[in-house]
Chains A and B, each alone.
Chain A
Amino acid sequence: MERKMQFTLPPTLPEGCIANILSFTSPLDACRSALVSPTFRSAASSDVVWERFLPPDYQDIISRSSLKLSSLDSLSKKDLFFHLCHHPVILNNGSLSFTLDKWTGKKCYMLGARELSIIWGDTDTYWKWLSRPESRFSEVAELKVVCWLDIRGKIDTKTLSTKTTYAAYLVYKFAEFRHGFKRSPVNVQVKFEEEEGGVTSRVFLDPLFVTREQSQHRENGWMEIKMGEFYNEQGDDGTVACSLWEVDNFTSKHGLIIEGIELRPKRNL
C-alpha cells in the first residue's frame, strides 16, 4: 500500500507551528489530535503544548509539597501534567491536596478534614480523628455523636483557576453503625463569603431511595455529594465558603466519616 501524505496546500506545516496551535486548544483536544497524523502526534506531546496547559504557578505549588518531589524534575511536561492529575500533591502538613483536572488542566483542591471547621470537632466525646489508609490525608474525622452538625470549608479564590465554574463536593463515607442521615437531609451551601444571600440546598447523605441529588461513588470506597457551585472570574472575589449543617432536628447523628471537601471544575457533559 502506497503511503502518501496529501495536503490541500503545499508545503507542509512545520511541527513547531502545529505544537503552537495545539497549545491553544485543550488537553483533551491535544490528546485526540495525536491520531491525526504522525506530525500531529509528535507535536501533541511536545513541551510547548503541555507547558501551556500546566497552571502558571505549578512549580510554586509543587515546591510547597510536604514530600520532596524532585523526581518530577526529570519528567516531560506532558508526563508531569498527567502525574499531577493522578497523584495529589499534599500541602499544609497533610491536610490539603492539589491535583489537575485532566480535561482542562484547571486546578483542583481538596480541603482535608483538618482544614475544615467542624463544630465540636476538637471534643473527644463527639468526634474522633483517625488515620485511614484509603485516605490521601493523614487524618479523617469520624462522627461519634452530635445533634449539632456544622462543617465549613473555606478557600481563597485567588488560588483557583480563573474563568472557571467550580463545584464543591463533600467527600465522605459511613462507619458500620450510622444513624440520623437516612430520613433527614442536611443543608448545603456554597457562596462567596463577602456576598449576601446564597442558595441553600437540602441533600440526603444516606438516602433510603434514589433522589435527584444523588451521592456518587469515588475511588477507595469514598462517596461524594455536590454541595454547590460558583464561578471564579478573576480570582479576586475573596473567600469561598462551603458549608454543611443540620442543626434543627435534634436527632442525634452517628457514624459519618469525613475525608474532606473537594473543589474541581464543573464538567459540562
Chain B
Amino acid sequence: MSSSNNSGKVLKLKSKDNQIFEVEESVAIQSELIKNVVEAGCDIGVIPLLTVHSKTLRNVIEWCQKHVDYVEENDSGSNEEEIKNWESEICEEGNNNGSDDEETKNWESEENNNGSDEEEAKNWESEGNNDGSNKEEVENWEWEENNDGSDEEELENWESKFVDVDKDSLYALLLAADYLSIDSLLERVIKQVADVIKQCRSVEEVRQTFGIKSDFTPEEEEEIREEISWID
C-alpha cells in the first residue's frame, strides 16, 4: 500500500485477526509505539498489534500515509533536495536506453497510431530526456507547491471526512490511536468524539452511544445530580 517511490525499509505489522500489513517504515513510525520498537534496534520480523483489528489498522495506515505525503509535499525545506532527487531520477530514466525506448514503443502501439499520438510520444520522449525542459517543469512545480495556500485546508477536509464514520468505527480508531500513540490521529478523533458528546442531549444518550453501563448507586447518582443542579 505505498505510493511514493522512496526506497525505505518496509515493516510488517500483524493485526489482531492475524492479517499482515506491509508498511513503509516512514509511514509506520508515525506511531510512537512502532517507532520505539524500530529504534530499539531489534530485528523483528513481524510487529504484532494485539488490540487492533485489520479493518481499523487498514484505516490507520491510510491516515499515516496521507500525513507522510502531506509533509513531503509541503515541507519547503526539503524541496530542493526532492528536486535534486527527482531530477536525478529523471536523468537516470532518460539515460536508461532500454526501458524508455521500449516504453515509448509499447505505448505507441497501445494507442491508435495516428499523427497526434506519434507527436505526443515524441514530445514525451524528448521531455524525458531533455534536461532543459525538466528544469522548467521543476521550477513550475516548485512555484505551484509553495504558493498553494489551501493545502492545509485540503488536509483538514480530508481529516474531517476520515473521522466522519459510525460510532463503533470511531471508537475503534480512538482505541487504536491511543494504543499506537499516533498524536495526529488521536487529536482529530478526540475532537470528533467530543463533538459526538456535545450533541448528545442526555446522559443516557452518551451511555448508549459508547455502550457504557452506569455503575453508580442511586445515592451516588443523587449526589452528583445535586452538584450539577445549577445546569438548568
Contacts and interface: CB of A to CB of B under 8 A. Distances in A.
Interface of A: 3-9, 11, 13-14, 17, 20-26, 28-29, 31-38, 40-41, 102
A166 B116 CA distance: 65
A5 B215 CA distance: 7
Interface stretch (B18-26, B37-45, B86-94, B206-214): B206-214
B197 A25 contact: yes
Contacts of B203: 32-33, 35-36
A61 to B, nearest CB: 23
B168 A35 contact: no
At the interface, is chain B mostly helix, strand, loop or mixed? helix
Contact of A38 (B190, B195, B210, B216): B216
A261 B175 CA distance: 48
B197 A9 contact: no
Given A7-B212, A9-B172, A38-B216, A25 B194 contact: yes
Given A17-B190, A33-B203, 14 more contacts: A5-B212, A7-B211, A8-B171, A9-B171, A13-B174, A13-B175, A31-B231, A32-B203, A33-B197, A33-B206, A34-B228, A40-B212, A41-B224, A102-B230
Interface in B183-224: 190-191, 193-195, 197-198, 203, 206-207, 210-216, 221, 224
Contact of A32 (B174, B212, B214, B231): B231
Contacts of A41: 224
B228 A32 contact: yes
Given A25-B194, A32-B203, A36-B207, A5 B213 contact: yes
Interface residues of B, number: 31
Contacts of A28: 231
Nearest to A85: B230
Interface of B: 51, 168, 171-172, 174-175, 178, 190-191, 193-195, 197-198, 203, 206-207, 210-216, 221, 224-225, 227-228, 230-231
Contacts of B191: 24
A34 B197 CA distance: 12
A41 B195 CA distance: 19
10 contacts: A6-B212, A9-B168, A9-B211, A21-B190, A21-B194, A22-B197, A35-B203, A35-B216, A41-B224, A102-B230
A3 B115 CA distance: 80
B193 A21 contact: yes
A254 to B, nearest CB: 38
Contacts of A102: 230
Interface class of chain A by DSSP: loop
Given A7-B212, A11-B51, A25 B174 contact: no
Contacts of B214: 35-37
A169 to B, nearest CB: 20
A29 B196 CA distance: 11
B178 A17 contact: yes
Nearest to A45: B227
B57 to A, nearest CB: 15
Contacts of B51: 11
A24 B174 contact: no
A3 B175 CA distance: 24
Nearest to B212: A37
A8 B168 contact: yes
B147 to A, nearest CB: 25
A11 B174 CA distance: 12
A46 to B, nearest CB: 14
A229 to B, nearest CB: 22
Given A5-B213, A7-B212, A9-B175, A22 B194 contact: yes
A17 B179 CA distance: 11
